[in-house]
A and B are shown apart, each in its own frame.
Chain A
Amino acid sequence: MPRSRALKTRVAFLVIAVLVVVGWAVSAGTAGIHTGLALRIIISRIPLLGRTLPLGLGSIDPDMLESAEIIVLEVRLPRIVLGLLVGAGLAATGASFQGLFRNPLADPYIIGASSGAALGASIGILSAGRAGLAALSTPSSYIPIFAFIGAVITVVFVYALSTVDGHMPTDTFLLAGVVVGSFVWAMVSFLMVTAGEDLPKVVMWLMGSLSAKSWAHVRITAPYVLAGVVALTALGRNFNLAACGEESARYMGLDVERFKKVVIALGSLITAAAVSSSGLIGFVGLVVPHVARMLIGPDHRSLIPVSALGGAVFMVTADTLARVIIPPREVPVGVITAMAGAPFFFYLLRLRKKG
């Protein structure tokens, strides 16, 4: 399909928006590190570029520079990178699921990945508390693994439950996702009742947050999100066929059952990777694809990457706001995304009704 100049302009605009938001996010906060210094610190760590450019970091007090370096490189940057990944992954998955299921209300959590991750994380937090593991290692290193496994198992279960004779009717699949999801949520609630002093940890995890994330979290999430988003984008033309309806897609030569399997597998892995490192962050995967579709139309070859870029911008913006709104306390980023996302979604609906 002809890629128009308007599309290129919009993509370029989004890429610039990502850079601007990252620039803002590295310098925002209580430590008083201005954007210029933060960027110079980051550039100094880029191989080749850092050596050759005159950054003038030598003129800064070494102690101050060291603490600034730690704040920028070990606290803020991993958090920002994780935010970019989580936002991009959730939004790209949301766009894919909405196209595949032909359902504008579909989001990455609709097929049970969120409840499964929550159960996995709860089990992880509680069993660690009981076994005294929390004292031995930092909880952040193993909870993502529990959450990831929980999410994958739940989606596989939903898939198996709704497949009959090798066919998986979309409606059945979505219903199975909802039913299994509510069952798993009940188990999470049950665990929370028995959680005792670990309850706040579980609740904080469920609210979704990017705070206190390290490069370890980035390493868990990055491969799935990057590979997954690239793969979903490459499948774009097939999403367009599927969006016309299963039978039409089949008549246009798409092996629909196999395509569904591939997309569900990719989407679930991306979602599991995102959720396991950052908890349940809502609205990104639902709202961003709608905005992207309004900007550039429904062609999934551009819709999926543009959603990913938009999700990345939205996520890092929301997370930075979460840090700076009521310092020194932090608002869980899921609260910000819902507070910003819900009214915006409503506004979009009104807009479309009038148009």
Chain B
Amino acid sequence: MRVEVSDVRFGYGASGPEVLHGVSLTGESGTFCGVIGPNGSGKSTLLRVIGGVARPWSGCVLLGGRDISLMSPRQAAQLVAAVGTAEAVIFPFTVEETVLMGRSPHLRFFASETALDAAKAHEAMKRTGVAHLAGRRITALSSGERQRVLIARALAQEPKVLLLDEPTAHLDVNFQVEIMELVSALAHESGITTIAVLHDLNLAGRYCDQITMLSSGQVAAQGVPREVLTEEHLLDVYGVRAIVGRRPELDRPAVFVISGSPRHGHGGHTGLDGHCEGGEFNGVDDIGRDGDAG
């Protein structure tokens, strides 16, 4: 399902400061879109607006041409599922119970799940590789397992659009790669339009079809990873000096941050630049392979 965000302005509360100053983005059906930007640039807020949880002051979010602000929470949840980072798991539901909750938007208010719902939940658990954990308490899982359970719950919703807020946060590199491979497969194979806020620029560059870079609530750059992840943009938006190389086998950018502030070590003095000739930075590429192997 095509997601169109057009000129969204939003701030928290009626009188709070504006957080998003006219953001637009389009996520084509079955693509994996990344949203990146420094802390406080409005990434998570944008995700909440797309999910219909936060209502924009002006502008609109269209899902398959329908305005999400006109849908009830239940109608919206039949189209959009989300995996957030915000909320801690407090109650010791089992994995199966947790994933079954994803069926809620398809159930009547007082109804219980049927065998068909259970089958769909199991399908989702298999897809994310947590079927063997069905009877375990979610409070007893590792962060990587828990993340896959929450993605399974989102899949049980049978969404057309999947929103992910930093799906790889707090995960070790092997789980990061695992989650990213899973998510990009979901987008490309199941046709779910996936929009993810990502912290890790290299993961974004490696897996996303399209990236939106936010800066102070505005779109600083938008397009395919190669166009967005440039040394210039990173300096402008993040204020860091970086070397952007290219993963030769994929034609994907790889980012290597050199220093936190442009005042330190100006171009040509770091001694690292030498490796960068021809736009390829082998050191980064090696890091990337390590990740894949794990």
Contact = CB atoms under 8 A, between A and B. Distances in A.
A253 B97 contact: no
A251 B87 contact: no
Given A1-B113, A234-B110, A240 B101 contact: yes
A299 interface: yes
B90 A297 contact: no
A78 interface: no
A240 B153 CA distance: 13
A255 B101 contact: no
Interface in B78-111: 78, 80-82, 84, 86-94, 97-98, 100-102, 104-105, 107, 109-110
Contact of B72 (A2, A165, A255, A301): A255
Interface in B139-178: 153, 157, 163
Nearest to A99: B91
Given A165-B14, A244-B87, A250 B53 contact: yes
A297 B93 contact: yes
Indicate the member of A1, A165, A250, A255 with the most B CB atoms within 10 Å.
A1
B8 to A, nearest CB: 18
B275 interface: no
Contacts of A165: 13-14
Given A1-B112, A253-B77, A247 B104 contact: no
Given A1-B97, A2-B118, A252 B104 contact: yes
A260 interface: no
B105 A298 contact: no
A243 B105 contact: no
B264 interface: no
B107 to A, nearest CB: 7
Nearest to A245: B87
B150 to A, nearest CB: 8
Interface residues of A, number: 30
B102 A252 contact: yes
A17 interface: no
B73 interface: yes
Given A237-B107, A252-B77, A252-B105, A247 B84 contact: yes
Contacts of A241: 101, 104
A17 to B, nearest CB: 25
B51 A251 contact: yes
Nearest to B110: A234
B136 interface: no
B76 interface: yes
Contacts of A237: 104, 107, 112
Contacts of B126: none
Nearest to A234: B110
Contacts of B110: 234
Nearest to A103: B90
A247 B87 contact: yes
Q: What are the 9 tightest A-B residue pairs by CB atom distance, in nearest-first order?
A: A245-B87, A253-B77, A253-B105, A298-B91, A253-B74, A251-B82, A243-B91, A255-B73, A252-B104
26 contacts: A104-B90, A165-B13, A234-B110, A237-B104, A240-B93, A240-B97, A241-B101, A244-B87, A244-B89, A244-B98, A244-B101, A245-B87, A247-B48, A247-B84, A248-B84, A248-B87, A250-B53, A251-B51, A251-B53, A251-B80, A252-B157, A253-B105, A254-B73, A254-B104, A255-B72, A298-B91
Interface of A: 1-2, 99, 102, 104, 164-165, 234, 237-238, 240-241, 243-248, 250-256, 293, 297-299, 301
Interface of B: 13-14, 48, 51, 53, 72-78, 80-82, 84, 86-94, 97-98, 100-102, 104-105, 107, 109-110, 112-113, 118, 153, 157, 163
